[in-house]
Chains A and B, each alone.
Chain A
Amino acid sequence: MSDETLLEMRGINKFYPMGEEMAHILKDIDLTVKKGEYLSVLGPSGSGKSTLMNIIGCLDTATSGTYTLAGREINELTEGELAAIRSMEVGFVFQNSQLLPRLSARKNVELPLIYAGVPPRERRRRAREMLEKVGLSDRMDHYPNQLSGGQQQRVAIARAMVGNPSLLLADEPTGALDQKTGRQVMALFQELNREGHTIVMITHDPNIAAYARRCVHIIDGELTEGGDRENA
């Protein structure tokens, strides 16, 4: 872990219109994540953790405050520029893996590279390498419905990592898995982190959050530091 800052949030607020009123979802959030960190954001449903993830992942922008990711101010970017940042800097892993059913595992992994405009040959090579890394070298041409839940999630992780993003952003990555495959996925995350990848994982499950090296709690839109396990 270096001392270089990857993402920094200062005084982030987010309001959403709820009927007549504006709901205050995120309240004055300050958060700094350094390169190579493995952070978990722990919070119950309705705590605002999904909104926080959307802002971290550049899917959404804050109502107020400043957010810097990989040295770029995110607040004032257009939709197209946000897409470019997502393509370059962020790899998403969702709860239900979210693979496209009509594409093979390899094609699914290639998808982010298609939007980044990577030529076909290099795309194939990188997708193959990534699938080998997550232990699916014999499942490249299988379709999602021919894969188990754990395998699907590993394809999703390969897809998130194939563009070599600076941040791996996971939303309840084990939510749809049984305990054993969940542990396997967590092991993969730890391995990726050991290799130097920065990971932010959002979860409601303290047992899963415990895999991370640092944990923050979010309750009612307020963030509290849960302590750095290494330093503790």
Chain B
Amino acid sequence: MLKSVRKTLVMLKECFSMSLSNILGNRVRSFLTVLGILIGVAAVIALITTVSGFSGTLSSSFMSMGAGTLSVSVTGSDLKSGMTADDLKEISEMDEVEGITPNVSLRSRVSRGGNYETNVSVSGKNAYYFYRDAELVQRGRAVHPTDEENSTFVCLITQEMMETFFYGVDPVGETLYIDGTPFRVIGILSDADSDSILSLLSGGSDIVIPYTTALKMNNENVVTSFTVYLAEGEDSENASAALEEKMDAMFSFEEDCFTVTTMSGIEDTMESMLSMVSTLLAGIASIALVVGGIGIMNMMLTTVTERTMEIGLKKALGAIPWQIQIQFLIESFLLSVIGGLLGIAVGLILSFALCQVMGMTFTFSLSAIALGVGFSAAVGILFGWAPARKASRLNPIDALRAM
């Protein structure tokens, strides 16, 4: 038993070295054959690595902005169309909650002097919104609680607005007309990240005013959208359950009056979308792998025909069918694994370059490499099987007659 295992190992080693010398002896042809696998594996790896880099970048920005927040949107019932100031106060006093910010948004015509712009995004926020993140205000002052209480006509504007309406003038203390109502500019918003994907998601606005003022301008007295900031260490799932319970009571347990969205929920959705996209792309790329496999099969079939005499000779010298089969199988396996390794190298270089260009973090994904090697080995064995079998079944007499 042990002896036959040893014999087999000796034989396999010889097969490897003979296959390698066959592959290297036909360098150009081997390279062209391997090219299909190379491209397939490189494409799969580049796609997976790039997409995972993208999702890593995305989720880290989600973390920086969204961990520990809930966003609530209220559709209301017939009896109660939205949240009153008292409701909001009650929610902000919950144990799980550190604070809340109502979001009241409007689209307005903004003008000053002869300049005007329509469809400017104006949003109403509260003092807490600014208190929470001191860096929001670049210059001037934030919205104060007194502004909230008295619905004062004050606003903060972005750099872009400043350039549009106050070219060469310090805007702080100046007046800006929003839908015809004079507002006093009290500060400039910092525009960090204003061009990132996330500012689009978070609904970056050009002008911020106290939310009570915004409600008045909308002729409303209830808030229909707000963000809840959770107290430190609160789990967003628990907090969202507590919040839902509280709001259910506020809306007299009528159904479908509001939805609570957790940021991690959004992130999950995002990630599952991304993984779907990456699976789809990898699926498309693996078509290249199949094509590459067919290339290998074709080359192996040609090789079997070319080496009919060699096969016949080996059989005459005492090679049994499976020894012939294993030799050809090893050859196609080696071919495609060589292709796979080259493909991994090319794929990693490609995705590194892509990540650099797109400003994403490059993550060296072991699973992508395992996938590449596994895929190419599988392709080699799968597509090498038929030619190897054909070789092993050649009748030695016919094979020798070909000489």
Q: In the assembly, what is the distance between CA of A87 and CA of B315, in Å? A: 9
Shortest distance from the beta carbon of A194 to any chain B beta carbon, whole Å: 25
Let me know if A80 is at the binding interface, CB within 8 A: yes
Q: Is there contact, CB below 8 Å, between A87 and B403?
A: no
Q: In the assembly, what is the distance between CA of A115 and CA of B313, in Å? A: 12
Q: Is there contact, CB below 8 Å, between B321 and A116?
A: no
Q: Which of B10, B314, B322 is the one whose CB lies under 8 Å from A111?
A: B314
Contact with B along A194-221 (1 / 0, CB 8 A): 0000000000000000000000000000
Range class of the B interface residue count: 20 to 34
Let me know if B276 is at the binding interface, CB within 8 A: no
Q: Is there contact, CB below 8 Å, between B317 and A117?
A: no
Q: Is there contact, CB below 8 Å, between B403 and A115?
A: no
Contact with B along A121-135 (1 / 0, CB 8 A): 000000000000000
Q: Is there contact, CB below 8 Å, between B320 and A115?
A: yes
With a 10 A CB-CB cut-off, give which of B25, B317, B322 has the most chain A CB atoms: B317
Contact with B along A104-121 (1 / 0, CB 8 A): 000000011011111110
**Which B residues are in CB contact (< 8 Å) with A163?**
318
Let me know if A164 is at the binding interface, CB within 8 A: no
Q: Which of A83, A84, A114 is the one whose CB lies under 8 Å from B14?
A: A114
Q: In the assembly, what is the distance between CA of A83 and CA of B313, in Å? A: 12
Q: Is there contact, CB below 8 Å, between A120 and B11?
A: no
Shortest distance from the beta carbon of A56 to any chain B beta carbon, whole Å: 12
**Which B residues are in CB contact (< 8 Å) with A80?**
320-322
Chain B interface mostly: helix
Q: Which of B11, B22, B309 is the one whose CB lies under 8 Å from A115?
A: B11
Let me know if B358 is at the binding interface, CB within 8 A: no
**Which A residues are in CB contact (< 8 Å) with B318?**
83-84, 86-88, 112, 115-116, 163
Stretch from A41-49, A90-98, A224-232 that touches the partner: A90-98
Let me know if A59 is at the binding interface, CB within 8 A: yes
Let me know if A102 is at the binding interface, CB within 8 A: yes
Q: Is there contact, CB below 8 Å, between B316 and A57?
A: yes
Q: Is there contact, CB below 8 Å, between B323 and A115?
A: yes
Shortest distance from the beta carbon of B327 to any chain A beta carbon, whole Å: 10
Let me know if B397 is at the binding interface, CB within 8 A: yes
Let me know if B370 is at the binding interface, CB within 8 A: no
Q: Is there contact, CB below 8 Å, between A117 and B10?
A: yes
How many residues on chain A are close to B (CB under 8 Å)? Answer: 29
Shortest distance from the beta carbon of B239 to any chain A beta carbon, whole Å: 71
Q: In the assembly, what is the distance between CA of A119 and CA of B321, in Å? A: 21
Q: Is there contact, CB below 8 Å, between A83 and B11?
A: no
Residue of A nearest to B8 (CB): A117
Within residues 317 to 359 of chain B, which ones have a CB less than 8 A from any CB in chain A?
317-323
Let me know if A79 is at the binding interface, CB within 8 A: yes
Q: In the assembly, what is the distance between CA of A86 and CA of B397, in Å? A: 13
Let me know if B396 is at the binding interface, CB within 8 A: yes
Q: When A59-B316, A98-B309, A98-B403 are in contact, do A119 and B21 touch as well, CB less than 8 Å?
A: no
Let me know if B360 is at the binding interface, CB within 8 A: no
Q: Is there contact, CB below 8 Å, between A102 and B315?
A: no
Q: Which of B8, B21, B320 is the one whose CB lies under 8 Å from A79?
A: B320
**Which B residues are in CB contact (< 8 Å) with A87?**
317-319
**Which A residues are in CB contact (< 8 Å) with B14?**
114
**Which B residues are in CB contact (< 8 Å) with A94?**
313, 400, 403
Contact with A along B15-27 (1 / 0, CB 8 A): 0001001100100
Residue of A nearest to B3 (CB): A117
**Which B residues are in CB contact (< 8 Å) with A148?**
none
**Which B residues are in CB contact (< 8 Å) with A83?**
315, 318-321
Q: In the assembly, what is the distance between CA of A88 and CA of B318, in Å? A: 8
Let me know if A154 is at the binding interface, CB within 8 A: no
Q: When A114-B11, A115-B314, A117-B10 are in contact, do A96 and B319 touch as well, CB less than 8 Å?
A: no
Shortest distance from the beta carbon of B397 to any chain A beta carbon, whole Å: 5
With a 10 A CB-CB cut-off, give which of B7, B10, B309, B316 has the most chain A CB atoms: B316
Q: In the assembly, what is the distance between CA of A105 and CA of B192, in Å? A: 75
Q: Is there contact, CB below 8 Å, between A60 and B397?
A: yes
Q: In the assembly, what is the distance between CA of A96 and CA of B21, in Å? A: 23
Shortest distance from the beta carbon of A121 to any chain B beta carbon, whole Å: 11
Contact with B along A44-86 (1 / 0, CB 8 A): 0000000000100101100000000000000000011001101
Let me know if A100 is at the binding interface, CB within 8 A: yes
Contact with A along B294-319 (1 / 0, CB 8 A): 00000000000000011001111111
Q: In the assembly, what is the distance between CA of A87 and CA of B21, in Å? A: 24
Shortest distance from the beta carbon of A159 to any chain B beta carbon, whole Å: 7
Q: In the assembly, what is the distance between CA of A102 and CA of B11, in Å? A: 18
Q: Which of A59, A96, A114 is the one whose CB lies under 8 Å from B397?
A: A59
Q: When A54-B397, A102-B21 are in contact, do A117 and B316 touch as well, CB less than 8 Å?
A: no
Residues in chain B within 8 A of chain A (CB atoms): 4, 6-8, 10-11, 14, 18, 21-22, 25, 309-310, 313-323, 396-397, 400, 403
- Additional pairs, 12, CB under 8 Å, beyond known A102-B18, A114-B10, A115-B11: A57-B316, A80-B322, A83-B315, A86-B315, A87-B317, A87-B319, A88-B318, A92-B317, A98-B403, A102-B21, A117-B11, A120-B10
Would you give 7 A-B contacts (Cβ < 8 Å), ordered by A? A59-B315, A79-B320, A80-B321, A87-B319, A98-B309, A117-B7, A163-B318
> Which 8 interchain pairs have the tightest Cβ spacing?
A87-B318, A117-B7, A83-B320, A112-B317, A115-B319, A115-B318, A86-B318, A80-B320
